[in-house]
Structure 1
Amino acid sequence: MTDARWLDPEERQAWLALLAVTTLLPGNLDGALQRQGRLTLFDYHVLAMLSEAEDRSLPMSELASRTYSSLSRLSHVVKKLEQRGWVARRQSSEDARVTTAVLTGEGFAAIEQMAPGHVGSVRQAVFDGLDHRDVADLERIGKKIVQQLEPSSWVLREPRINS
């Protein structure tokens, strides 16, 4: 016998639900973005993080943190976005060892154009079926899981935006 801590029936059902979400949601949102702008969800996320940053720029290491990716994966995607004219890489004026990703005007215009459709897809896929309490629970639970996976995560440091 093993010393495994097996999931109880309630944990198993929660795990299967989470697994289904993590499997189905990216493909659903990727599909909508592919039709709209030939982007993946990750590509869009990179553009979105840059669009929300001060001066629309971030050091590559910070952008990797905000997009939960490795520097090599991020570098590959930034190169693809550079080829479209949406992102530029620049040497930091404060530290020559630091490379900064900058959202171009063309990139900002592209994300501005895609954002309404993307938000509509997110709303339809996730939020239309939830009430305010569900949304608060989703945030609370998601942050707890992220805390276990990535304790220094940007999402845990980001202040909540109240509207």
Structure 2
Amino acid sequence: MKQRVPRMNDQESAAWLGLTATLQLLPAALDRQLQRDSGLTHFEFVVLSRLQLSPEPTMRMTALAEATVATLPRLSHVCGRLEKRGLIERSPCPEDRRATNVRLTSEGRRELIHSVPGHIATVRRLVIDALTPEQLDALAEIMGTINTRLASEPTDP
């Protein structure tokens, strides 16, 4: 039996359509800037950033996939591209032969550091500078609420 779901009112619809438009437009804009300035996609930038911020010099692929909210196949494909460019290195995990470790190379660190100023400038131009301090506080609160709910969703289909 199909469950009946109430229709969205005008306020709910406007909020939802605004969010979905942002979810489409913002990643594309971030990709354009990063590709133009450093040849990275936004997801590659996120992968390199997570490795840079890791307290250990290496991360297991499974931990990196969780940190970047990616599937292992997607992450493996992206890591293959980053490895070919010399930005990361992958190696078998000594503690678990089934696992793979990933490490940011010196070249990867340099590329990430080079790409950060342009990325921050783009984020400021497109998002941060468009909002008042009160709106930024509201956005942070809203995103925290949504992300908490998303994190608690079951991952099984």
Q: Do the structures match in fold with TM over 0.5?
A: yes
The 1:5–1:137 alpha-carbon spacing in structure 2 relative to 1, beyond 3 Å, is same
Counterpart position of 1:110 = 111
Deviation, structure 1 residue 4? 2.0
TM-score by length of 2: 0.89
Deviation, structure 1 residue 56? 4.0
Deviation, structure 1 residue 143? 2.1
Counterpart position of 2:6 = 5
Deviation, structure 1 residue 124? 0.8
1:35-114 maps to which residues of 2 (within 5 A)?
A: 35-114=36-115
Q: Structure 1 regions of 5+ residues with no counterpart?
A: 153-163
1:82-161 maps to which residues of 2 (within 5 A)?
A: 82-151=83-152
Using the aligned pairs only, state the percent identity.
Answer: 36
Deviation, structure 1 residue 37? 1.4
Q: How many residues align?
A: 152
1:113-137 deviations in Å (ceiling 9; x for gaps) = 1111111111111101112222222
Q: Secondary structure at the match of 1:97?
A: coil
For residues 94 and 112 of structure 2, what CA distance do their matches in structure 1 show?
A: 26
Deviation, structure 1 residue 96? 3.1
Deviation, structure 1 residue 47? 0.6
1:4 counterpart letter in structure 2: V
For residues 102 and 142 of structure 1, what CA distance do their matches in structure 2 show?
A: 30
For residues 106 and 56 of structure 2, what CA distance do their matches in structure 1 show?
A: 11
Q: Secondary structure at the match of 2:146?
A: helix
Q: Structure 2 regions of 5+ residues with no counterpart?
A: none
Q: Secondary structure at the match of 1:81?
A: helix
2:129 counterpart letter in structure 1: D
2:134 counterpart letter in structure 1: R
